[in-house]
Amino acid sequence: MLLSVKNLKKYYATQKAVDDISFDIAQGSIFGLLGPNGAGKSTLLRMVTGIFYPDSGQVLFNGEAFDMLKHVGEMGYMPEERGLYKKMKIGEQALYLAQLRGLSRAEAEKRSKDWFARLDMNSWWDKKVEDLSKGMSQKLQFVTTVIHNPKLLILDEPFSGLDPVNANVLKDEIFRLAKEGTTVIFSTHRMEQVEEICDHIILVNQGKKILDGTVKQVRQDFKENVFSITLERAPTALPEGIEVMKQQDNTLVFHLKEGESANGVLQYFIGQGYMVGAFSEILPSLNDIFIRLVQGTAAARAFQEV
Amino acid sequence: MNKTLIIIKREYLTRVRKRSFIVLTLLIPFLFIGLAALTGLIAVGGSTGDKKIAVLDNSGGVFEKNLKASKHVHYVFMHGTLDSLKHNLDKKKYDALLYIPGIDKDLNFQLLYNEQIGITTEARITDDLNDIVRNERMKAAGISSEQLKVIEAESISLKVTNIQDGKESSNATAMIIGYACGFLLYMFMLFYGMSVMRSVMEEKTNRIAEIIVSSVRPFQLMLGKIIGVALVGLTQVLIWIVLFGLFAAIGIPMMTGGMAMQVDPASMNEAASQATDSAKMMQILHALQGTNWWLIAICFLFYFLGGYFLYAALFAAVGSLVNEDPQESGQYTLPITIPIILGFVMMSSAIGNPNSGIAIFGSIFPLTSPIVMMARLPFGVAADHPEQLIASMLCLVGGFFATTWMAGKIYRTGILMYGKKISLKEAGKWLMRK
């Protein structure tokens, strides 16, 4: 495991921001940290990056206790609220942040030039950040986050504010880095991106972990026996044990009751002489799961006594 | 390279490279000279032209004989009655009409003006008249004009010397040095302290703070910033010293050379007063040479750095508390600016009485000591009460560690707090956390 988080806790005066969360992240995986606004994601990430001290619990990096100063070169962190020095020249800014991450000046310069070339940013070097559009500064922010080749890359809402083209550029870079062995923690509340990008997810709500698993596994776990069947013509009669949720011409979406098997349904239609064009199980999307789990809990966290 | 060094380097370079730094550094000395010249000009502004006074002398010629034109005031004697002169006086030629009723009994002199003649001219005329009346009275009492000269020539000079080391000193000189040092420190602490605060606020509202503190400890960031700004201040002072050195080497000889030629031995009176003036000047110059410049320079550097570090840490803490709204900063800076201003007030009192209780307290209490002790030093505190200087320095170092420790605690939490307004009470609680 590249990163192990064990029983992490952080209580603020009015709420339990992170309340006993544990998880493990394997080397080279893309890990999704999900949760509604105010769930405690940012606080959790700030503890993982060493910005905050946890009240209790442990963060292990490569098996040893995480120490920000020692592991500074192996971690890259892009917080949700982007920040750059507005009046500083872009090239100098990249060099400065890279040096703070432990690169020598010469190495920082070489890598900045490489990254700038790869992302078509060469002409920016002597410009100031205040001259950049939001999307452009986002790209710059990403470059400054990955410039030192971190082993663990933490991205908090990396695509917010990016147009689809630039979002894709960034996504490709993230995939490329993951393929080269970088482990990525990806924090978001945009589920469609998670399904597309992440291998493993945890869902956090009200400071607690409420879900942990691979994307595939989680969807399996939350399946509700919903199937879709396409027949050559709309059926006139239906078998026992199914509950049609939606019918569109000759395609049925139905819920299979407890104790019934999909084979039974198929056999029924085949026995009736229908040609079966398609049959598949519909797994819930992460979005549905997310809503199902989070709904009903107070949208904005109520202040509680600790 | 050490991370703090990288931060210091950035803080220093971004400031020094700014055009405003170069312009301000070069302009401020001229601004000061200009300001001094302007105040000088305004002070003597009353005598912007010579005054011409018409005089009606009813004393029987005593004044007509003795009342000579002096600096900027010319007297022209007229004849006639007061009423006719009042009405017929040429307003363009004369600024006022002086009526002298006599010299023996009736001394109700009158000055009738068309336009206010100003307090300087009025005082000069009164002096001139008084001189004549006094001389006449002395003559009447039987004192000859030779005796009179002897009486007037007598003018003393008071030499102030330290009993222990026999060094000459001058309270006037000490006052000038004390004021200058105290005022400079006051300016530096406020100006650079504010600069640190603004920079912290900028990092917080820019949200870059979170990125930086994921690479370095917040304390390193704060310290790097404070040291970087201190170096900027030192650079500025160094540039000024060099400028002043150039001025002293080139400018002063030119100016004094010019002055020597201008000396005009026109009137005895003036020459005499100049003589006492220059004696005083010599005394001040002498005292300047007697002043222990090394001690003052070293102490200045110490109090400059100590006072600056102490306050800069506090200003950094305040900057970290401020949210997007810059107006909030005023509310938080007040508790810091008050002791600085208090120090300035104590300095004025300490210069008047360098060994008073308040001066001693002010020069040891770390929040005011940089300003107050610097003002006391030229009065010889180091030699007379070395224990006070040592106590003051130790307290300042201790105070510096205390405020930096406090500021570090507040800073590291404040810099990541957004949205909510932070009360000072809450910030106080952060001090207790590990």
> Is B33 domain-assigned?
no
Eight-class DSSP state of A89 = B
Predicted pLDDT at B252: 63
Numbered residues of chain A with Cβ closer than 8 Å to any chain B Cβ: 46, 49-53, 68-69, 72, 75, 77-79, 81-88, 96-97, 99-101, 104-105, 144
**Per-residue confidence at B49, pLDDT binned at 50, 70, 90?**
low
Set of chain B residues whose Cβ sits within 8 Å of the Cβ of A44: none
Which has the closest alpha carbon to A153: A36, A73, A65, A82? Answer: A73
Q: Which residue matches tokens 């009164």?
A: B126
pLDDT above 50 for A119: yes
Contact criterion met (CB < 8 Å) for A83 and B217:
no
| H helices, E strands: number in chain A | 10, 14
Minimum mean pLDDT among A111-125, A189-203, B259-273, B321-335: which range? B259-273
Q: Which band of pLDDT confidence, cut at 50, 70 and 90, is reported for residue B262?
A: very low
Could you list the beta-strand ranges (E) of A102-205.
152-156, 183-188, 200-205
Same domain, B222 and B312: yes
Considering only alpha carbons, which residue of chain A is nearest residue B221?
A100
Question: Last residue of some domain: B85, B118, B152?
Answer: B152
Asked if B215 contacts B1 with a C-beta cutoff of 8 angstroms, the reply is no
Query: Of residues B77 and A25, which shows the higher confidence score?
Result: A25
Residues of chain B contacting A85 with CB distance shorter than 8 Å: 203, 206, 208
Q: How far is CA B191 from CA A54, B194, B232, B337, in A?
A: 38, 5, 12, 11
Identify the pLDDT of residue A300.
46
Q: Is the pLDDT of residue B45 over 50?
A: yes
Determine, for residues B14 and A87 on separate chains, whether the beta-carbon distance falls below 8 Å.
yes
pLDDT category of residue B283 using cuts at 50, 70 and 90: low
Mean pLDDT of B196-215: 90
Percent of chain B with pLDDT over 90: 22
Average pLDDT, chain A: 88
B103, B211: one domain: no
Distances (CA, A) of B427 to A46, A263, B198, B204, B328: 20, 67, 19, 16, 15
* Domain match, B366 and B419 both: yes
Amino acid letter for position A225: N
Taking the C-alpha atoms of residue A30 and residue A44, their distance in angstroms, rounded to an integer, is 17
Contact B206 A86 (CB under 8 A): yes
Whether B389 contacts B382, CB under 8 Å:
yes
Residues B54, B142 within the same domain: yes
CA A88 to chain centre: 31
Spell out the domains of chain A, with CATH numbers in brackets. 3-220 (3.40.50.300), 224-282 (3.30.70)
Confidence of residue A242 (pLDDT cuts 50, 70, 90): confident
Question: What pLDDT, on a 0 to 100 scale, did the predictor assign at position A214?
Answer: 92
Q: What is the mean pLDDT of residues A147-162?
A: 90
Which one, of A194, A219, A241, lies nearest residue A33 by Cα? A194
Residue B267 placed within a domain: no
- The pLDDT, as a whole number, for residue B229 is 94
B329 shares a domain with B209: yes
* Chain A nearest C-alpha distance from B2 (Å): 9
Torsion sign over Cα A84, A88, A89, A92: negative
Q: Total domain count for chain B?
A: 2
Nearest CA to B189 out of B298, B345, B309 is that of B309
Q: Look at residue B431 and give its three-state secondary structure.
A: coil
Please give, rounded to a whole number of angstroms, the shortest distance from the CA of A81 to a CA of chain B.
6
Q: Mutate one of A47, A99, A156 to test the B interface: name it (highest B CB count within 10 A).
A: A99
Flag whether pLDDT at B272 surpasses 60: no
As a whole number, mean pLDDT of residues A150-171 equals 89
> Which residues of chain B are within 8 Å of residue A99 when distances are taken between CB atoms?
1, 6
How large a percentage of chain B has pLDDT more than 70? 84
Residues B78 and B214 in one domain: no
pLDDT value, residue A298: 59
Residue A239 reports pLDDT greater than 80:
yes
Question: Residue A169 and residue B254: Cα distance in Å, rounded?
Answer: 69
Q: Per-residue b/e over B243-280, b at no fewer than 16 CB within 10 Å?
A: eeeeeeeeeeeeeeeeeeeeeeeeeeeeeeeeeeeeee
Say if residues B287 and B173 touch (Cβ distance below 8 Å): yes
Q: Which residues of A touch B212 (CB under 8 A)?
A: 100
Which two structure tokens, joined as six digits, stand for B433? 């956390």
Structure tokens at A71: 């592991």
B113 beta partners? B96
CB contact under 8 A, A49 and B3: no
Q: Which two tokens stand for residue A250?
A: 């000759």
CB atoms < 10 A from the CB of B211, how many?
24
pLDDT in tens, B406-415: 998 899 888 8
Per the confidence metrics, is the pTM higher than 0.90? no
Determine the pLDDT at residue B243. Answer: 85
Cβ–Cβ under 8 Å, residues A215 and A194: yes
Q: How confident is the model at residue B44 (pLDDT cuts 50, 70, 90)?
A: low
In-domain check, residue B394:
yes
- CA A138 to CA A134: how far, in whole Å? 6
pLDDT value of position A113: 94
Q: Answer whether residue A22 shows pLDDT above 80.
A: yes
B215 to chain A, closest Cα gap in Å: 6
Which of B10, B14, B206 shows the shortest C-beta gap to A84? B206
Domain boundary among B152, B179, B214: B152
Residue B288 lies in a domain: yes
Q: Mark yes or no for CB contact A69/B217 under 8 Å.
A: yes
Strand B51-57: give its sheet, edge to edge.
B73-78, B51-57, B96-100, B110-113
Alpha-carbon distance B308 to nearest alpha carbon in chain A (angstroms): 25
d(CA A300, CA A280): 38
The two beta strands, A152-156 and A75-78, are parallel
Mean pLDDT score, B359-377: 91
CATH code assigned at B111:
3.40.190.10
Q: Distance (Å, rounded) from C-alpha A77 to C-alpha A156?
A: 8
- Tokens 């009065």 belong to B379
Name residue, tokens 């001094």.
B36
**Cα–Cα distance, B173 to B293 (Å, whole number):** 13
pLDDT at site B290: 61
Q: Would you put residue A202 in left (φ > 0), alpha (ψ -120 to 50) or beta?
A: beta
The ipTM, to two decimals, is: 0.83
Same domain membership, residue B426 and residue B303: yes
User: Chain A: nearest CA to B203, how far in angstroms?
Assistant: 7
Half-sphere exposure at residue B125, Cβ-oriented, CA atoms within 13 angstroms? 25
Domain check: are B89 and B233 in the same one?
A: no
pLDDT band at A106; cut points 50, 70, 90: very high
Contact B207 A82 (CB under 8 A): yes
Establish if B26 belongs to a structural domain.
no
Tell me the C-alpha distance between A5 and B380, whole Å: 64
Q: Are B358 and B347 in contact (CB under 8 A)?
A: no
Option in A85, A101, A104 nearest B206 (CB) = A85
Given a cut of 70, whether residue B255 has pLDDT beyond it is: no
- pLDDT of residue B265 exceeding 70, the answer is no
Per-residue pLDDT at B369 = 92
Question: For the residues B104-109, what does the mean pLDDT come to?
Answer: 74
* pLDDT level of residue B154 (50, 70, 90 thresholds): low
**Mean pLDDT across the stretch B1-21?**
90
pLDDT at res. A151:
93
Give alpha helix (H) positions in B207-217: 208-212
First and final C-alpha spacing in chain B: 29
Q: With an 8 Å Cβ cutoff, are B215 and A86 in contact? A: no
**Phi and psi of A231, rounded to 5°?**
-110, 165
Band the pLDDT of B31: cuts 50, 70, 90. Answer: confident
Question: Residue B289: inside a domain, yes or no?
Answer: yes
Domain span at B246: 170-259+284-430
Cβ-based neighbours of B202, under 8 Å, separated by 6 or more: none
Nearest alpha-carbon partner for A45 in A15, A83, A3: A3
Counted across chains A and B, CB pairs separated by less than 8 A come out at 59
Given a cut of 80, is residue B1 above it in pLDDT?
no
**Residues in B touching A53 (Cβ below 8 Å):** 434
Instruction: Choose, out of B19, B199, B208, B420, the residue to mutate when testing the contact with A (most A CBs < 10 Å).
Output: B208
Cα A26 to Cα A30, A148, A177, B74, B110, distances in angstroms: 9, 21, 15, 101, 105
Residue B38: inside a domain = no
CB B339 within 8 A of CB B430: no
Same domain, B182 and B135: no
Say which residues have a Cβ less than 8 Å from residue B386's Cβ, sequence separation at least 6: none
Residues B136 and B199 in one domain: no
Residue A274 near residue A232, CB atoms below 8 Å:
yes
DSSP letters, B377-422, are GGGTHHHH-HHHHHHHHHHHHHHHHHHHHHHHHHHHHHTT--SSPP
Contacts of B294 (CB under 8 A, 6+ apart): none
Q: Do A96 and B6 touch (CB under 8 A)?
A: yes
Average pLDDT over residues B274-285: 61
Q: Are residues B226 and B113 in the same domain?
A: no
- Cross-chain Cβ contact A85/B210 below 8 Å: no
Strands A226-231 and A75-78: unpaired
Round to whole Å and give the CA distance between B254 and B258. Answer: 6
For residues B240 and B289, membership in a common domain is answered with yes
Domain membership flag for residue B162: no
Q: What is the per-residue pLDDT across A37-83, written as a single tens digit (0 to 9) for each?
A: 888 898 899 999 988 888 999 999 988 999 888 888 899 999 988 88
B interface test, pick of A48, A61, A100 with most B CB neighbours within 10 Å: A100
